[in-house]
Structure 1
Amino acid sequence: MKKIKILLYLTIITGIGGCIEQVEFDNVSFDTNLVVKAIITNEIKQHTIELSRTIPIDSTELSPEKSAFVALVDNVGTTYNFTETEDGIYTSVNSFGADPARSYTLSIQTSNGQRYNSTTEKLPEDSNIDDIRASVENDDIEGPFIAFKVNATGNSTDGSYYRYEYDETYKIKSFVWSPFRIRVLSNISPYNFDYIPKDPDIYGEGFCYTSDTSNSILITETKTLSQDQVSGFTVRKVPLQSYIVGQRYSILLKQYVLNQNTYDYYTLLDKFSDPSDIFTQTQVGNIPSNITSETNPTTDLVIGFFEVSSITSKRFFFNRTDITDAYYDNYTDSSLCDEFPRPLFNDGFGNSPLLELLETHIFYDAPPVGFGSPPGGPYELILKQCGDCSHLGSVKEPDFWIE
């Protein structure tokens, strides 16, 4: 029976996601292959390389490869040593950037003495991101969406290969917001409460900021075009009604220029990230790596790739009102936010309905005239998820944020 390479782990290390139905596997053979994630760029920085081992398909914990020796060697004999800064994560001792005039080889020796070497890789020519644009588009299946597209200009007369990653941050507005909060003065009978202004450094001002990273392979090429220009390549699509693009949105786009071997690797990886391909005769272990074992190159296979790429980045801000006035769905079901209970301070039996509800609700409105006078509680409450978005992100603006 063919050995099933562990697609689940490859999915984790490359950030590729997918929802598939759980399947039970019995008597499946398993190889503990070395997994390498190594991307070296022209950025002057301390680069990192991640080493781990494949894990059984039913495992939930990663298996970092510890205590390895990791180094890069260039074609003029310079060695760039890496040290283990976290389990399985190796950071270059010194800052450096890949030089287009040099070529690089990755060398790994694991704690059990196994040696691995990569092919020699060279830095491709760089490319500039010209701009990022947002537009409303429509798909017969997906419906209307906002597309974020990149335009870029390369420097190669023969065209280039490109890969994109992004970090996105979006602003969320609380469904209902009050600048005040209830303070509990006494949580035993006789119960006592008051209301005070919220500290904006702690509670914010009714907005939250959530950040995510791309989780799919985004590649394109200009080799088949007359010019080395990327024109209107879609890097992100968000449904028009999504709260992600309901207020203000920012995307930091990273553009990698690849060599052909790296592009071919990502092309195959993209194919096998499709859940429909999991059970084909060609398994994930058949995706070739440019890293091989010195001792057992045919049986001791490596998963991953040593990538040397040039990188540029650009940040783009977008306001929904710039291109549409269409309604968007809030982050929570508005029907859950219709009721505003006004619980009693004391129910006459030694209990405080207000105190109990404060576990799941927050203060919404200022107290009415006659506050504190029975019967009836003076405070109007709303579900926490309706009046507080902090479960979705930080209440503080990111340092890079610009309104």
Structure 2
Amino acid sequence: MKPFKIITYILIFLCFKSCIEPVDFSTVSFDANLVVQARITNELKNHTIELSRTIPIDSVNLSPEKNATVFITDNSGITYNFQETGDGIYTSTTAFSAEANKSYKLNIETSNGQNYSSIEETLPQTSTIGEITTVIEQNEIDDIQELVIKVNSNLSSDSGKYYSYEYDETYEVKTAIWSRKKLLIISAIPPYEFELVDKTEEEDGIGFCYPTNSSNEILLTETLTLGQDQVLGFPIRKIPLSSYIIGRRYSILVKQYVLNQNTFDFYTLLNKFSNPDDIFSQTQVGNIPSNITSDTNPNENYVIGFFEVSSVNTKRIFFNRESVTETIFQNYAPLALCGERQNPEIVDIFGGSPLLDLLQGGGWIYQSPPDVPIPPPNKLYELAPKVCGDCSHLGPVSQPDFWIE
């Protein structure tokens, strides 16, 4: 964000602050409305639906809707039952897939006897993903270069469709430093005892980790206003070129959803409401229409959320850094930090163990013997910052099943 824009926001905030009385949020009335996150697709699987309640503005704890009865019916008379598999999470008891030429209706009965139902929704036609491309572009706002991942859909004979996209990205990172040994605490009370052992590949890996992140924004586009039904060059992910995320090897699984117009309109409004740049938007979440209403008391029991029926197609790509750029990247751990070392005493003059304190504190791990010809008898181990020698805080140390080199 440009500096003048930040200054403008601050000035406006100060102006408002000087002429508006503070609000005591504890006195604001609050309605615990039902929140529904429900999507079924043409994938044959056990689908999930999440139910919760809106929470006060000063609350930090989520409020899952427990012990509800949830089921979906189709126009052929088939019922798909869901059971609660977690707090507010309901999973279909059998695997099923949404089918063309059928309509589906969501039904919910909450534990307090309130009934809700959706309008009937139908499955849009499937559109397949074509090519996923990468290009380096200049971000003029932040004045950095970015790797932009773009997607094309295959050409369809339809006049146009509504699309949304999600992704799961997985990438390989390498520890800044690596030791084949680890130091175990055998006794944390006097006489302190430690044991130096070999790391195991199954538990500790070999110095590589594989984090996975999922998209957290609403990515929408449409082809109705185009001459043909084909998405071309739609950007779904932008990564700074200097980022360690694309430092070695990277993979992205792109999910392309074809939506009906009701669903597209809902997400368009939701996207506008959630846009952090539109701080003065008059769109409130309560004004976003839902296709789910209360059968018991529709004028008071409002619903936030949507019952979505969409078709999905997925595609995964891999690439190495050298295939997209020759520039260097910044590792996840700063080089200045990774140069630090500690050579603590096993037992100090007060009977404590500085070595034990550092290991139990979680910020340090064994790296090597001290860099001296003959290590002092009481200072046998040199430690390095854990973040530099262990990347497991970022992700698993083993390659995922889908990973290929």
What is the TM-score with the length of structure 2 in the denominator?
Answer: 0.86
Give the 3 Å change call, closer, same or farther, for CA 388–237 of structure 1 in structure 2.
Answer: same
Contact persistence 1:118–1:306 (CA under 8 A): yes
C-alpha distance in structure 2 between counterparts of 1:357 and 1:108, whole Å: 53
Aligned position for 1:388: 390
* CA-to-aligned-CA distance 1:86-122 (integer Å, 9 cap, x gap): 2322222221111112111112222333222211111
Matches within 5 A, 1:28-67: 28-67=28-67
Contact persistence 2:273–2:283 (CA under 8 A): no
2:402 to 378, 391, 400: 400
Other structure's SS at 2:332 match: coil
C-alpha distance in structure 2 between counterparts of 1:109 and 1:190, whole Å: 62
Report the Cα offset of residue 221 of structure 1.
0.8
Aligned position for 2:365: 362
C-alpha distance in structure 1 between counterparts of 2:68 and 2:359, whole Å: 52
Aligned position for 1:150: 151
Aligned position for 1:239: 240
Other structure's SS at 1:50 match: strand
Give the 3 Å change call, closer, same or farther, for CA 56–366 of structure 1 in structure 2.
Answer: same
Contact persistence 1:125–1:156 (CA under 8 A): no
Aligned position for 1:285: 286
Aligned position for 2:20: none
Contact persistence 1:272–1:278 (CA under 8 A): no
| Aligned residue identity for 1:384 | K
Give the 3 Å change call, closer, same or farther, for CA 182–300 of structure 1 in structure 2.
Answer: closer
Contact persistence 2:244–2:330 (CA under 8 A): yes
Aligned position for 2:108: 108
Aligned position for 1:222: 223
Other structure's SS at 2:271 match: helix
C-alpha distance in structure 1 between counterparts of 2:72 and 2:368, whole Å: 62
C-alpha distance in structure 1 between counterparts of 2:198 and 2:243, whole Å: 31
Q: Does 2:275 correspond to 1:262?
A: no
* CA-to-aligned-CA distance 1:339-381 (integer Å, 9 cap, x gap): 3333445556655544444444222235668655x37845432
Query: Percent of aligned pairs with the same residue?
Result: 58
C-alpha distance in structure 2 between counterparts of 1:70 and 1:351, whole Å: 58
Give the 3 Å change call, closer, same or farther, for CA 193–106 of structure 1 in structure 2.
Answer: closer
Report the Cα offset of residue 290 of structure 1.
0.8
Report the Cα offset of residue 199 of structure 1.
1.4
What is the TM-score with the length of structure 1 in the denominator?
Answer: 0.86
Report the Cα offset of residue 47 of structure 1.
1.3
Contact persistence 1:38–1:307 (CA under 8 A): yes
Contact persistence 2:41–2:309 (CA under 8 A): yes
Report the Cα offset of residue 192 of structure 1.
6.3
Other structure's SS at 1:292 match: strand
Give the 3 Å change call, closer, same or farther, for CA 112–247 of structure 1 in structure 2.
Answer: same
**Gap runs ≥5 in structure 2:** 1-22
Give the 3 Å change call, closer, same or farther, for CA 226–339 of structure 1 in structure 2.
Answer: same
Aligned position for 2:174: 173
C-alpha distance in structure 1 between counterparts of 2:188 and 2:71, whole Å: 61
Give the 3 Å change call, closer, same or farther, for CA 156–375 of structure 1 in structure 2.
Answer: same
* CA-to-aligned-CA distance 1:2-22 (integer Å, 9 cap, x gap): xxxxxxxxxxxxxxxxxxxxx
Aligned position for 1:330: 331
| Aligned residue identity for 1:102 | K
Aligned position for 1:127: 127
| Aligned residue identity for 1:313 | T
C-alpha distance in structure 2 between counterparts of 1:101 and 1:391, whole Å: 47
Give the 3 Å change call, closer, same or farther, for CA 240–308 of structure 1 in structure 2.
Answer: same
**Gap runs ≥5 in structure 1:** 1-22
Give the 3 Å change call, closer, same or farther, for CA 53–185 of structure 1 in structure 2.
Answer: closer
Q: Which moved more, 1:211-220 or 1:167-176?
A: 167-176
Other structure's SS at 1:231 match: coil
Contact persistence 2:103–2:122 (CA under 8 A): yes
Aligned position for 2:27: 27
Q: Which moved more, 1:350-359 or 1:173-182?
A: 350-359
Q: Which moved more, 1:166-175 or 1:73-82?
A: 73-82
Give the 3 Å change call, closer, same or farther, for CA 184–292 of structure 1 in structure 2.
Answer: closer
Contact persistence 1:209–1:398 (CA under 8 A): yes
C-alpha distance in structure 1 between counterparts of 2:332 and 2:260, whole Å: 41
Give the RMSD, CA atoms, in angstroms. 2.5
Other structure's SS at 1:325 match: coil
